[in-house]
Chain A
Amino acid sequence: MADLPTATERFIQGILPENPVYRQMLGLCPTLAVTNGMKPALTMACSVAFVLLCANIVISLIRNLLKPHLRIVVFTLTIATFVTIADRFLAAYLFQMSKTLGPYIPLIIVNCLIICRCEVCASKQSVFTASADAMGQALGFGLALSSIAAVREILGTGMFFGIRVLPEAWPDWVIMVLPPGAFLTLGLLLGLVNWLGMIKARRAGNDA
């Protein structure tokens, strides 16, 4: 059995090389749904970070007790518990944001990203490594969400975080804040990231 990556490796990998949205293509539902503004995007990123961290820690603590054929059910139930906590917290303290995010907070339960991290890392490695992995992936997820939300919000409303950055004369590209804009932005940004990766790989190939 090959050596599993260490905590720092897991952390660094999660941010860009194994970015959950751009490289692993996991968790696309919230990526497309909540990125029509920076604030919902960051709220979603924080919620996912909380759930991912707690779920990873708990699964890592009980990793020796998991039966192979029941593990997905255990992961899902753990995640469901923490998502309930996050959802009730948002409903209590950030009610307006909770209404904006709507059903997408409970949909974190079936977010492939969290189940995948539990399966790949938390069920096999120590609590410290699992938390480092969770934080790295959450950072990567937050970066991805912010990049898409920035494009959509600036082009769609001329504002960034509610502060106007484009002149008043800018005709808002309303389609950017509607569903098609989400697909188009993610598709084009994904193409851009792939292209940058190809250039980097070609340069590394040329140097070698």
Chain B
Amino acid sequence: MIYFIDIMLIALSAALINNFVLYYFVGICPFVGVSRKVEMALGMGFAVTFVISIAAFLSWSITTMVLIPGAPVSSFIAGFFLPAEAAANIDLTILCYIVYIFSIASSVQFVEMYVRKFFPILYRSFGVFLPLITTNCAILFACLTIMSHVVGVDNPEDAWDLGRAIALAFFGGIGFTIAIVIMSGIREELELCDVPEPFRDAAITLVIGGILAIAFMGFTGVDSGIRKAVMPKPEIQAADSQLNADAFVYVDMKGQEGRVRIP
């Protein structure tokens, strides 16, 4: 039950609260470049979601099996060359960026072959965009976030499992799709407006993106609010008894308390 809530909160956070485009600024190039027509934006969003899920699966697997200290596959192979002590602690995390880029490039290749075979019309309408997804920051960003929750944690118990990793990646892609579709809808309407010439195309898109980002800021704190509402009550009551009357207490994703004074 707690696991399901955790997954749901990760999903909500990745899709809406910490939206990949409007909060973390990854995937800006397609956001500004591809978002002219809604169908195009939808197609791009789904392609990115698909690729990001595959890439996250690959990078989580490789990170846990090969890269982290004491990983099974690398210790097994190192066992042939190094003494047992050194082999059990072998740490390949320095290679993580190179490995992630490889896994992303191969995911894109795989998706391209699949789309070309089964959806040829969609493939032709994509043109150059599909290979361009390789350099989409959003995918590498998802892999890096997963890495920070697997490699960067102090307590091995807190390391993310595959379910959380895929949830983050998939719903991050969904959030990207939401943002890019909203932007494309707005831009379609903008075709009929009289935008001042210096602002046409890119600058006005960024200003609109800023206003969208302000709108999405309204989601801040939803995940900690939900977490507070569903956490076992004794923890919250203990926290409540310590707080000032006019401070708002929340418990964030890591289970730490924070206090915000609302003026």
**A contacts, CB < 8 Å to B:** 25-26, 28-29, 32-33, 72-73, 76-77, 80-81, 83-84, 87-88, 103, 106-107, 109-110, 112, 115, 175, 178-184, 186-188, 190-192, 194-195, 198
What is the CB-to-nearest-CB distance from A84 to chain B, in angstroms, rounded to a whole number? 5
**B56 → A minimal CB distance (Å):** 14
A28 B214 Cβ-Cβ under 8 A: no
B contacts with A: majority SS: helix
Interface residues of B in 10-45 (CB under 8 A from A): 22-29, 32
Complex Cα spacing A110 to B98, Å: 11
Which of B22, B29, B98, B198 touches A191 (beta carbons < 8 Å)? B198
Contact of A184 among B105, B144, B207 (CB under 8 A): B207
A27 → chain B, closest Cβ, in Å? 9
**A109 vs B144: C-alpha distance when bound (angstroms):** 12
Chain A residues near B1: list those with CB within 8 A. none
Is B25 touching A194 in the complex (CB atoms < 8 A)? no
CA separation between A29 and B199, bound complex, in Å? Answer: 20
A32 lies within 8 A of B105 (CB): no
Tell me if B204 is interfacial: C-beta within 8 Å of chain A.
yes
Shortest CB distance B144–A (Å):
5
Whether A191 pairs with B199 at a CB distance below 8 angstroms is yes
**In the complex, A112 Cα to B209 Cα: how many Å?**
20
Contact of A194 among B136, B148, B198, B217 (CB under 8 A): B198
A contact residues around B97 at 8 Å (CB): 80, 83-84, 87, 106, 109
Query: Which residues in window 200-230 of B have CB below 8 A to A?
Result: 202-211, 213-214, 217
Q: Beyond A77-B102, A191-B203: 17 further Cβ-contacts under 8 Å?
A: A32-B25, A80-B98, A81-B98, A84-B97, A87-B97, A107-B26, A109-B97, A109-B140, A110-B137, A175-B214, A179-B213, A181-B210, A183-B209, A184-B210, A190-B202, A191-B198, A195-B198
Q: Judging by beta carbons under 8 Å apart, are B94 and A192 in contact?
A: no
Query: In this assembly, does B134 line the interface, its C-beta being within 8 Å of a C-beta of chain A?
Result: yes
Interchain CB contact under 8 A, A112 and B144: no
Chain A interface main SS type = helix
Q: How far is the CB of A191 from chain B (nearest CB, A)?
A: 4
Nearest-CB residue, chain B, relative to A28: B28
Check if A29 sits within 8 Å of B137, measured CB to CB: yes
A152 smallest CB distance to B (angstroms): 12
**Which residues of A sit under 8 angstroms from B141, Cβ to Cβ?**
103, 107
B28, B105, B137, B217: the one contacting A180 at CB < 8 Å is B217
Interface contact A84-B94, CB-CB below 8 Å: yes
Of all chain B residues, the one with the shortest Cβ separation from A115 is B135
Confirm or deny: B190 has a beta carbon within 8 angstroms of a beta carbon on chain A. Answer: no
* 9 pairs of A and B residues whose beta carbons are closest in the complex: A183-B210, A187-B206, A187-B207, A184-B210, A195-B198, A194-B198, A180-B213, A191-B203, A190-B203
Taking a contact as CB atoms under 8 Å apart, the answer to whether A180 and B210 are in contact is yes
Residue from the list B102, B134, B199, B207 in contact with A183, Cβ < 8 A: B207
B197 close to A (CB within 8 Å): yes
Q: How far is the CB of A168 from chain B (nearest CB, A)?
A: 19
Contacts of B198 in A (CB 8 A): 191-192, 194-195, 198
Contact A186 B144 (CB under 8 A): no
**Contact string against A for B residues 50-80, beta-carbon threshold 8 Å, 1 for contact and 0 otherwise:** 0000000000000000000000000000000
Q: How far is the CA of A83 from the CA of B102 in the complex (A)?
A: 15
B187 to chain A, nearest CB (A): 14
Rounded to whole Å, the gap between the CB of B170 and the closest CB of chain A is 19
Q: How far is the CA of A179 from the CA of B24 in the complex (A)?
A: 8
Asked if B25 and A110 sit within 8 Å, CB to CB, the answer is no
- Chain A residues with Cβ under 8 A from B102's Cβ? 77
